[in-house]
Amino acid sequence: MTNFDQDTDSHPGEDSSSDIPVRIELRDVTTGTSEGARSLSFLGESNPVRKARTVIPQIENTAVAEQLDKLLLMIRKMIEIAQRERPGLSDIPPLLAHIDEDGAVLVEWIFPDFRVGFNIEPNPNESGWHLVSNKKLDEFTVSGQLGNMDAIIRTLLRFILPNI
Amino acid sequence: MVFPDRCIRGIPNSDCLEEGGSLPNLRLFPFHDERSREDGWIPESINWMDNDGVIDFTLCQKKEDGQEEQFRVGVAILPRSELDRLKKRTGIAEFFGYERAPLANNDYHGNILVSNKVSKTRRNMIRSALALASEVQLRSAG
């Protein structure tokens, strides 16, 4: 088990903010593939990342395109694994991506009671994620760097999937 | 300075809403660096809801040409309690704020403020939080 207790101290311009200690259990997902995954029905889409992927060919910066591709692939893979564990899992809204004026890409995942977002920057060290929720879900306002993408996505999905 | 319990953000186009829906996305509050002021704040315009008539007032606001309505889609209403909560949660209070900034033709006008020192990640977190807390009122047809 790997525990992540995120920094609760905030400093100017830094992204270590967190209002919750995030505890996750890492498991080996190297065997998790899309093979045999159930057909997902997400608002008429077969997978929630398809729409966001359509942005990739429009991205000029290779580093941004590669990060986005990796992010979306990882999210889809983890959702498919979760889908196998929870056959009733459905109605996951699509991720939306758009290219910002400075060449970065914003990825947004909109749910009625919470939002998850990613900013993919030309400098990967500046890429980040955030989660905000309303009163129903304890009013989280959490953000951080996207360094350990695998662990971050897994942690976020542990929040997202039970709260859909 | 007296602030009412709610403020209003005009919605100029459907790009600010979830596709095919009425949930606002983070484009409702862009906080672009280019809009940064000399005092270090990046402002996004709002109208303070001093009375219920401010909704109609906002919907009637015209573009600079004086012809077209500025907020064709509708308005988003934000509780000030959410702004106060964010002010506490964004780390250091000096990074987020709000103000009254009356204009010659708009006594209700004000701004939501984010410091230009805030990183993009945290800025996007603030944008998402504002969008999540917004209640959209679409302009009625006709």
* pLDDT at A88 exceeding the cut of 90: no
The Cα–Cα gap between A161 and B105 comes to: 48
In chain B, what percentage of residues exceed pLDDT 70?
Answer: 96
Q: What is the pLDDT of residue B65?
A: 80
B23–A112 C-beta distance less than 8 A? yes
B-interface mutation test, from A100, A132, A135, A146, most B Cβ less than 10 A away: A132
Q: Which residues from A are below 8 Å from B23, CB to CB?
A: 110, 112
Measured at the alpha carbon of residue A86, what is the angle toward residues A85 and A90, in degrees to the nearest 5? 135
Task: Measure in Å the smallest separation between the Cα of A111 and chain B Cα atoms.
Answer: 9
For residue A90, the tally of other CB atoms under 10 A from its CB is 13
The beta-carbon neighbor of B125 closest among A134, A141, A145 is A141
B91–A11 C-beta distance less than 8 A? yes
Residues 6+ apart with CB under 8 A from A10: A16, A17, B90, B91, B92
The beta-carbon neighbor of B26 closest among A106, A121, A131 is A106
Q: Where are the domains of chain A?
A: 38-163
> Is A108 in the B-facing interface, judged by CB distances under 8 Å?
yes
* pLDDT at A3 exceeding the cut of 50: no
For residue B85, give the chain A residue with the closest CA. Answer: A139
The Cα–Cα gap between B58 and B77 comes to: 11
Report chain A's mean pLDDT, rounded to a whole number: 77
Residues of chain B with pLDDT under 70: 90-92, 141-142
> Is A18 in the B-facing interface, judged by CB distances under 8 Å?
no
Structure confidence by residue, pLDDT tens digits, A14-63: 444 443 334 333 333 333 333 233 333 344 345 899 999 999 999 999 99
pTM over 0.90: no
Burial class (CB in 10 A: 0-12, 13-18, 19+), A138: exposed
Q: Where are the domains of chain B?
A: 6-14+24-138
Q: What is the pLDDT of residue B49?
A: 98
Report chain B's mean pLDDT, rounded to a whole number: 92
Interchain CB contacts (distance < 8 Å): A and B: 88
* pLDDT at A147 exceeding the cut of 70: yes
Task: Measure in Å the smallest separation between the Cα of A58 and chain B Cα atoms.
Answer: 18
